[in-house]
Amino acid sequence: MRIALLGGTGDIGQALALRWARDTDHEILVGSRDPEKAREKADEYETELDSVGVERDVKGFANEMAADRADVVVLAVPAFHVRDLVAAVADRVADADVLVTPAVGMDRDEEGFHYKPPKVGSVTQLVADAAPDGVAVVGAFHNLSADRLANLDVELDLDTLLVGDDEDAVETVRMLADQIEGLRPLKAGGLANAAEVESLTPLLINLAMENEGMHDVGVEFK
Amino acid sequence: MRIALLGGTGDIGQALALRWARDTDHEILVGSRDPEKAREKADEYETELDSVGVERDVKGFANEMAADRADVVVLAVPAFHVRDLVAAVADRVADADVLVTPAVGMDRDEEGFHYKPPKVGSVTQLVADAAPDGVAVVGAFHNLSADRLANLDVELDLDTLLVGDDEDAVETVRMLADQIEGLRPLKAGGLANAAEVESLTPLLINLAMENEGMHDVGVEFK
């Protein structure tokens, strides 16, 4: 399978690229608005993988090109960029594609982080509304610390949550998440249930701020 | 310390009463609108505790009486009753008291459960607004399955989250939570951070519905 990480030069994009490249045989395409930056980062990821004994080819492209070539497209950009990104790649994602959105809308004030969804109720729903007809949207990977995920020395032993209305698409992303070592995907319902999943992210950041030794904290449901 | 569980004949009240009675020496007062029902349930809890080899005196009272006598008052009622309950006991809770609120506002539809906070942003904030001046409010115990907590054969090995603006009150509740075997309290910020804590409850119910073997699921942050 070909996985494109749009905004794949950023924290969560890098983290998912490294994990999938190490733990699977899927082809990894790093996308960026700037194709030169995408190629540079892809080279960096190859070097990083090589340093843990994994010889892998990671390619960089402009976001549109990466989306065009991929079976699964991860929108690894901040919430306030995601709608523009979907618009930019809309004519490049075929019917068979799955769009995966890990973004969360948050505010920060002196009290900590607060969940701040868009008016449609969640970023996942925003992406679903912006996606071309026939392109399935799955929310996933919201509640993972990018730093922890990007550090290949760390065993994850964590859960990640999936939301989506298209069962086949959810199953595809469930399989891809499950292939990352130490990550357990759990279904959290349809798009209508995305807000409760996304709001876990500011909670995790608040826990990291309020409790010693919880930097990069994740979650296990048990 | 004296702990009153108002609405202590219900699921979460029973669960906390049994755990604190078994694991601590704190005096446990079961409150109900109907004092006779409170006394009956208190007797039931004593019998249940006796069956696991714990000889304990658990007393039942009308909610107002229980609140009057307690150092810590847990409002173990559904979200839509909590404001009336606070009003009913307002003149019985002295300045030294801590009000603890585990309630969460939720809607259910064919898609699952959805977080539905009151207009002030969270049930915890609603209680804080309704509480008499000088009475501290702490949100806690939202994300625990009452059935799992009430089953004394089950080892918990779970986290619970605390929110509150009064540090002494949060510390009191942190200590009380920590005294329940297998329960780890974590601070999740001030009252302004309560929504992210409360919204974990519908998420847990959705996970229980969507995944096999996750009935009564709880959470560990790690």
Could you tell me the residue range of the domain that residue B38 belongs to? Answer: 2-210
CA distance, residue A18 to nearest chain B CA (Å)? 22
Kind and range of the H or E run holding A17: helix A11-23
Which pLDDT score is estimated for B33? 97
Question: Does residue B216 lie in a domain region?
Answer: no
Question: Does residue A218 lie in a domain region?
Answer: no
ipTM of the complex: 0.95
How many angstroms separate the CA atoms of A97 and A90, rounded? 11
Given an 8 Å threshold on Cβ–Cβ distance, is A196 in contact with B203? Answer: yes
Which pLDDT score is estimated for A97? 84
Average pLDDT over residues B112-137: 97
Residue A219: what are its φ and ψ, rounded to 5°? -140, 145
How many angstroms separate the CA atoms of B173 and B157, rounded? 18
Among candidate residues A115, A206, A118, A146, the one with its CA nearest the CA of residue A13: A146
Question: Does residue A199 lie in a domain region?
Answer: yes
The pLDDT tens digits for B46-104 are: 999 999 999 999 999 999 999 999 999 999 999 999 999 999 999 999 877 899 999 99
Question: Does residue B121 lie in a domain region?
Answer: yes
CB distance B113 to B205 below 8 Å? yes
Question: Does residue A153 lie in a domain region?
Answer: yes
Question: Does residue B220 lie in a domain region?
Answer: no
Residue A107 in tokens: 């505010």
How many angstroms separate the CA atoms of A75 and A103, rounded? 8
Question: Does residue B169 lie in a domain region?
Answer: yes
Question: Does residue A69 lie in a domain region?
Answer: yes
The pLDDT tens digits for A12-28 are: 999 999 999 999 999 99
Give the nearest chain A residue to B114 (CA atoms).
A193
CA distance, residue B83 to nearest chain A CA (Å)? 24
**Strand pairing category for A98-101 and A219-221:** unpaired
How many angstroms separate the CA atoms of B107 and B86, rounded? 22
Counted domains in chain A = 1
Domain at A56, CATH number: 3.40.50.720
Is the pLDDT at A95 greater than 90? The verdict is: no
Given an 8 Å threshold on Cβ–Cβ distance, is A192 in contact with B220? Answer: no
CB distance A167 to A191 below 8 Å? no
Give the nearest chain B residue to A186 (CA atoms).
B211
Instruction: Tally Cβ neighbours within 10 Å of residue B146.
Output: 18
